[in-house]
Amino acid sequence: MRLKIFALITLMSFVSILQAQESVLTAEKLWKLGRVSDVNVSPDGSKVLYGVTRYDLDKNSGDRDLYVLDEAAESPRQVTDFKGSEYNGIWRPDGKKIGFIATKGDSPQIWEMNPDGTEKEKITHIEGGVTGFSYAPSMERILFTQKVKLDKSPQDIHPDLPEANVHIANDLMYRHWDEWHDYKYNHIFVAPYNNGEIGESTDIMKGERYDAPKGGSKEIDWSPDGAQIAYNCKKLTGKEFSLSTNSEIYLYDLETEETSNLTENRFKGYDKEPTFSPDGSKLVWWSMETPGFESDKQRIMLYDFNADGYRDLSKGFDQSSSDFHWNKEGDKIYFISGTEATYQIYHYDRDEEAIHQITEGKHNYQEIQTAGDHLVASRMTMAMPTEIYKVDRNGKASQLTFTNKKLLDKIQMGRVKGRWIETTDGKQMLTWIIYPPNFDPNKKYPTLLYAQGGPQSAVSQFFSYRWNFQMMAAHDYIVVAPNRRGLPTFGQEWNDQISGDYGGKNIKDYYAAIDTMAKEKYVDEENLGAVGASYGGYSVFYMAGDHNGRFDTFISHCGMYNFESWYGSTEEYWFPNQDIEGPFWQDPKPESYEFSPHKSVQKWDTPIMMITGGKDFRIPYTQSLEAFNAAQLLGVPSRLLYFPEESHFVLQPQNAVLWQREFFKWLDKWLK
C-alpha cells in the first residue's frame, strides 16, 4: 500500500512539474506568437486592416498575412494567404478596394482586392518591384517608391570580369546598418490611376543620389486635394551624410513639377513624418533642433501655408512626440509620446493651444489612427505582444483583436512592478522589477540586471522577441531593469546627460538599482548577473572591469569594447561625435575615451559570454571578438556566439531560439 501511495505521489509530482513547464513562456512558444502591425482604418471608420506575421520554426521562415476586422463582426477575417508575405496594406480612399504589396512568384508588386479578400489582381509589373505606395485622396494618381540604379557597379567598370566580387568605395556610407551600398537609390514615382489601371510614371527625384522614404510609410503624405506631396529626405551623401542627421521636409507640386524645401536653413536636425491638415492649409511634423544628435527632443512643428509661418506647438512640453493624426475638423492633432517609461496617446488642442494626455496605464501605444468619434491604436505590455484597441476620446480602451489569446491563456506571466530607486546622487529612478511566475517571497532567486541599449531608448512596456523579461522570469530569475540616466520619457535633461559620460552617472545608476534590490530577502545576492545589448553590451563590458565583485556572470550582445577601433569601423559618425565627443585623433583627445572597456580589461575576472552578428555594421562583430580574445588570454571563463548572417539583431527563427538556449545555458551554469 505504501508503495502505491509513493508511486501516486511521484506521478502527481511529475505531472505538476510538466504542467509548470507548460505554463511558462519558452523560446519555442515565443516564436509561435502572431506579430500584429500596420493598423489602417477604412475611410468610413468601420473596419480595420492590419497584418499578422507568423513564423515556422522548422522552415526557419516567416509569413505575413492581412486581416480585416469589422467592428460589427465577431472575429477578424483573413483576406490574404499568398505563399510569402503581404504588407503595406492600405484602403483605397473610396473604401471599395484594399491595396497591398506582395511577392507572389515575383519581385514586390502592388495588388488590389475587395475588402473581403476576393478578386485579387496585380496592378503593377515594375522591373525590380516597388518598396511602398499610397493613393492620392482623389484617386486620380498613385505614388510608389522603387530603387533606381544611378551608380556604376564594379561590373559596369570592368565588364570583362563579371564574376569579380568586390566593393569599391570613394566616400563614406559605403555600408549602413546591415547592407552594403547597392548602387541604387529609393525614389518617389507618381502615375495616373484609374480604378486599378496605372499610367506612365514620373520620377519626381530624377537623377538625385538620395534615398526617399518608402512610399507606404508615414514619411510621405498627399495633400487633401492631391496637388502636393510632402516627404522627408536627407539629401546628403557620403561623408556629409555620416556626420549629420539633418533631413528636410520637401513639397512636390504636381502641376508645376517643382520641388521646394520647406525647412531649408531653418531646422538643422531630423525633420520627419510630415502630415497635412484636413483642409490642406497646414503641415505638422516632428523636428529635432540639434544636427548630429539622433535622440534630441522631437518637437511638434507646424507650418501654416496661409500665414507662411512656423510654430513649435510643443514649447514647454518636455517630451518627444510622433505619429501625428488630425481629427476631421482639423482642430486637434493626436500623437504618441513617452512618459515615465510608458507610451501614451495625447492630443494638441488648437483652440486651447494646449497639450492633453488622453491615456494612462502600464503599457506602450505604438501607432494610432482616427476613426470617427474614436481612435484605433495598437499597444503592448511586457506581458502581452501587440494587439489592437478602440480608444475613446477620454482614453477608455477596449481590446479589438485577440491574436494570441489561446496561447497566452495557457501561459503564466510574472508580475511586473515599477519601483522608484534612489540614485547615488539623490535622484529618483524608475526601475521595472519582473518576478518569476509563482513567485515565493520566502525563496531566494538569482537576479539579473538588465542594461538597456540605445543608449537613449527607454526601458518601457515593450514586448521583445529576444530580450524578453517574461522569459527570463520564467527561468526563475528576478529581472531588474532600470531607466538609468540617458533614457527618454523622464525629461530631456535626464535623456541628454549620458552624452560624453558613458562610464559615469548611468553606470552608478545601474549599481544603485542592483545594490538596492540585493538587500531584498528574496534576492540571492551571491548569484547576480548583468546582461545587455548594444549600449547595454558596452555597459556589461565596462562593468566587467569595474563592478567590484557584485556580479557572478555577464552576457554582452553586440557591445562596444574598444572605442578607438569602434570609431574607426562604424558608419554613422554623427553618433560617436555626439556621444563620445569626436574622433580619438583630436587634440586634445576627448576624455570620453577613458570610458572604453578595453582600458580596464586587465581587471576582468568574472565569467562572460559575448554574442555578435557578422552583418552588424553599427557595432562591427570585431568588437566582440576583441573582447573574447582578451578574456581567453586572461584565463577568464568565456564563450562566443557569432552569427555570420545576423546583424545588430538576431532575426532568423532558429538562430533566435539558439540564442535563447545559449543565453540561459550560460546563466544557469554560473548562477544556479
496 phi, psi to nearest 5 deg: -80, -20
List active site positions: 534, 616, 648
Contact 436, 620 (CB under 8 A): no
Residue 604 has a pLDDT of 98
SS3 of 487-533: the string is CCCCCHHHHHCCCCCCCCHHHHHHHHHHHHHHCCCCEEEEEEEEEEE
Digit-coded pLDDT (tens) for 516-560? 999 999 999 999 999 999 999 999 999 999 999 999 999 999 999
Strand partners, 190: 143, 202
* Cα 447 from Cα 667, distance rounded (Å): 10
Half-sphere exposure of 529 (CA within 13 A, CB side): 27
Interior/surface letters 38-68, b for 16+ CB within 10 angstroms, e for the rest: bbbbbeebebbbbbbeebeeeeeebbbbbbb
Write down the CATH number for the domain with range 412-671: 3.40.50.1820
Digit-coded pLDDT (tens) for 287-342? 999 999 999 999 999 999 999 899 999 999 999 999 999 999 999 999 999 999 99
Digit-coded pLDDT (tens) for 164-216? 999 999 999 999 999 999 999 999 999 999 999 999 999 999 999 999 998 77
Digit-coded pLDDT (tens) for 88-119? 999 999 999 999 999 987 899 999 999 999 99
* Cα 27 from Cα 25, distance rounded (Å): 7
Domain assignments of the chain as residue spans, ordered by start:
130-288, 412-671
Q: How confident is the model at residue 15 (pLDDT cuts 50, 70, 90)?
A: very low
Q: Where are the beta strands (DSSP E) in 195-270?
A: 197-198, 202-203, 220-222, 228-233, 248-253, 258-261
Digit-coded pLDDT (tens) for 650-670? 999 999 999 999 999 999 999
pLDDT at 13 over 70: no
pLDDT at 18 over 90: no
pLDDT at 1 over 60: no
- 357: which 3 cell numbers? 494626455
Among residues of the chain, what percentage have pLDDT more than 90?
A: 94
Digit-coded pLDDT (tens) for 609-654? 999 999 999 999 999 999 999 999 999 999 999 999 999 999 999 9
Residue 6 has a pLDDT of 45
Contact 391, 373 (CB under 8 A): no
- 514: which 3 cell numbers? 542592483
Residue 22 has a pLDDT of 60
What is the pTM (predicted TM-score) of this model? Answer: 0.95
Q: What is the mean pLDDT of residues 18-32?
A: 81
CA angle 345, 343, 393 (to 5 degrees): 15
